[in-house]
Amino acid sequence: MENNLKKEIDRLRKEKNAIILAHYYQTADIQDMADFTGDSLALAQWAAKTDADIIVLCGVHFMGETAKILCPDKKVLVPDMNAGCSLADSCRASEFGEFVSRHPGHTVISYVNTTAAVKAVTDIVVTSTNAKQIVDSFPADEKIIFGPDRNLGNYINSVTGRSMILWDGACHVHEKFSLEKILELKARYPEAEIITHPECKRPVIEVSDFVGSTAALIKYTVQSDKKQFIVATESGVIHEMRKKNPDKEFIPAPPNDSTCACNECEFMRMNTAEKLYNCLKNETPEILIDEEIRKKAILPIKRMLELS
Ligand code: 13P
Ligand code: SF4
């Protein structure tokens, strides 16, 4: 990042009492500029406790929405309003609402990667960090609907022994990791551990040494004795892994549809340092949410934060 841009961003954030929160899938320059970098659970926790007047959420739209739901009196800005999420888009609120009404008596658990309107028809929100813990907190015979990620849902069913009914959605980034290319990498680096996000498909999960959320994967690389890791999640996370483990090697797992060696979320990468600067300077684009939806959507998020 240009030094001038960095200085100007610093000046503006102090002048405006703004906090910059960045997800681990942001480019390295944005992660390094941020006041706090985290996974989606940590970003929500930070948003809930900050006393800044402005929150700039460098991530995707649903993360900005979560911050605004929790902090209605603060200005919540995102560098690029078009930074969406294919997983959140795979679950339209009207269709999800019908799905919920077709299953009366079920508790509705939604992944945080959903719109505010989907959260408004949800009983409790989870992230990949706390999904198992929250599902486990319900009695074994609880009838549960889980949405929208079918891969995370299948994984949680397998590790909890539940039979939650799953919404049929997915993240295009995590679904496209190539099992074949991962196994080729494993043959080249036999000592490497394969570490995987639970949004990946089952065959990739089955060959993995460790499966966990963004934060859990980072923690695992610190705790493991191994020196090499094949990383099957969005490659932005490798920046933090390298910072925490300068002596270890991180090999991004490749997707099946490109010659590129790593897998990036094009929505996350829409944010740039320049857009971050403009958004702080002009205080736009701003996340705004219908108050009726916000009042409903805050309940399942608060329930999650209480249990996390
Ligand atoms: P985390 O909850 O692990 O931050 O993941 C968010 C996400 O978008 C995964 O693709
Ligand atoms: Fe959404 Fe997938 Fe991008 Fe995460 S990686 S923000 S789930 S599209």
The domains spanning 2-83+268-288 and 87-170+297-307 adopt the same CATH topology:
yes
Paired strand residues for 232: 196
Ligand nearest to the CA of 271: 2
Residues within 6 Å of ligand 1 by CB: 39-40, 113, 127-128, 171, 199, 213-214
C-alpha pair distances (Å), 25 with each of 92, 212, 267: 24, 15, 10
Q: Alpha carbon of 140 to those of 109, 128, 143, 162, 163: distances in Å?
A: 15, 20, 9, 7, 10
Span 27-56, pLDDT tens digits: 999 999 999 999 998 999 999 999 999 999
Q: Model-level pTM?
A: 0.95
Q: Summarize pLDDT for 7-31 with one digit per residue, the tens.
A: 999 999 999 999 999 999 999 999 9
Q: Closest ligand 1 atom to the C-alpha of 40?
A: 4
pLDDT digits (tens, 9 = 90+) for 232-275: 999 999 999 999 999 999 999 999 886 677 899 999 999 999 99
Q: Residue 256 has what pLDDT?
A: 86
Whether the per-residue pLDDT at 2 is higher than 80: the answer is: no
Peptide bond into 190 cis (omega under 30): no
Domain boundaries, the chain: 2-83+268-288, 87-170+297-307, 177-252
Q: What is the pLDDT of residue 303?
A: 97
* CATH homologous superfamily of 2-83+268-288: NadA-like (3.40.50.10800)
Q: Are 112 and 127 in contact (CB under 8 A)?
A: yes
Q: Does domain 177-252 have CATH number 3.40.50.10800?
A: yes
Q: Whose CA is nearest to atom 3 of ligand 1?
A: 214
How far, in Å, from the CA of 37 to the mean position of ligand 2?
A: 16
Which atom in ligand 2 lies closest to the alpha carbon of residue 88? 1
CATH superfamily of 87-170+297-307: NadA-like (3.40.50.10800)
Q: Cα of 233 to ligand 2 centre, how many Å?
A: 10
